[in-house]
Amino acid sequence: HTGTNAFEGGVLAPNGKIILVPLNSQYVGIYDPSTSTNNPNGSYDDGPQQSHYPGVSAFMGGVLAPNGKIIFVPFNSPNVGIYDPSTNVYTNGPSFNPAPLFIGGVLAPNGKIIFVPYGNTKVGIYDPSTDTYTDGQEHGKDYAAFRGGVLAPNGKIIFVPFNSQNVGIYDP
């Protein structure tokens, strides 16, 4: 799938390639900046096909995990997405019901990935070392409160306000 709304964000993989996070694409996108081209067929749709809920705002953001895998932040996907650039394989991680509606993720100092709550009342916590997901604390803000996050020098995660009057502060 190329064109409008195919991908939402990208992550630099350990192999030097840029992994494009599938939003409405059925495929993981792979871009090789060393050759200044897309994959051999000239399309971003060269990575492995997703095996879950492709094409409907599946993921919004990605994070490089300490194990070298790329974690896709679930928006409408019922699963955490996991892409391994060393093997070019996509797998489904832990599942959700209903879809979690996170936008953006941040690698915390403890190695866990914090999912930024957008349409979710709780912070999301994914542990790539155990492939487990847990709900964090409620953030107490309205729907669409935050969109994206940043690791602050003090180790806290700052949620970027979208429909909130304040930044969100999460201490992992």
What pLDDT score does 52 carry?
A: 52
> Does 55 score more than 60 pLDDT?
no
Check pLDDT > 80 for residue 44.
Answer: no
Per-residue pLDDT band at 51 (split at 50, 70, 90): low
The pLDDT tens digits of the residues spanning 117-172 come to: 998 889 999 999 999 999 998 887 778 889 999 999 999 999 999 988 899 999 99
- Is 84 or 44 the better-scoring residue by pLDDT? 84
8-state DSSP, 172:
-
* pLDDT > 50? residue 45: no
pLDDT at residue number 42: 45
| Beta strand ranges found along the chain (DSSP E) | 7-12, 18-22, 29-32, 37-38, 59-64, 70-74, 79-84, 89-95, 102-107, 113-117, 122-127, 132-138, 146-151, 157-161, 168-170
Average pLDDT, integer, range 13-42: 78
pLDDT band at 47 (very low <50, low <70, confident <90, very high): low
